[in-house]
């Protein structure tokens, strides 16, 4: 089975996980991230529309790998299909960006 990865929504965040802005089909500019509604019959597959992302570019400004209480874990995650860009000052911010990106992905059968 082939899986096609698609992104549902766009998210940007800053240090401490403070939500700055959202856009996209999932939330239409709302202040919180909204997942698509659950289907009434869970035995039937749910069709979702999303953005197809074919490339994720990760940019890290510092090669410093020291983790401490003042480590900057901020990041920006931007999606402009078919590409997404994750920018961070440290590898720890990049890791947080990848965690958020993974939460926005879902796969589907190549036939559907």
pLDDT in tens, 25-74: 333 333 333 444 455 555 555 555 667 778 888 899 988 888 999 999 99
All residues at 6 or more sequence positions from 57 whose CB lies less than 8 Å from its CB, including other chains = 83, 84, 85, 86
Q: Are 56 and 81 in contact (CB under 8 A)?
A: no
Q: What is the pTM for the complete model shown?
A: 0.55
Question: What is the per-residue pLDDT across 94-110, written as a single tens digit (0 to 9) for each?
Answer: 999 999 988 887 665 55
Question: What is the per-residue pLDDT across 62-98, written as a single tens digit (0 to 9) for each?
Answer: 888 889 999 999 999 988 878 889 999 999 999 999 9
| CA–CA distances in Å: residue 91 to residues 8, 16, 33, 101 | 25, 15, 25, 15
What are the backbone angles phi and psi of residue 92, rounded to the nearest 5°?
A: -75, -35
């Amino acid at each position: 089975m082939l899986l096609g990865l698609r992104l549902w929504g766009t998210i940007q965040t800053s240090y401490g996980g403070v939500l700055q802005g959202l856009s996209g089909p999932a939330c239409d500019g709302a202040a919180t991230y909204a997942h698509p509604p659950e289907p009434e019959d869970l035995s039937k597959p749910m069709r979702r529309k999303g953005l197809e992302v074919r490339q994720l570019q990760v940019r890290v400004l510092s090669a410093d790998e020291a983790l401490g209480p003042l480590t900057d874990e901020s990041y920006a995650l931007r999606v402009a299909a078919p590409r997404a860009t994750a920018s961070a000052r440290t590898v720890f911010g990049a890791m947080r960006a990848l965690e958020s990106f993974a939460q926005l992905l879902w796969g589907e059968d190549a036939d559907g």
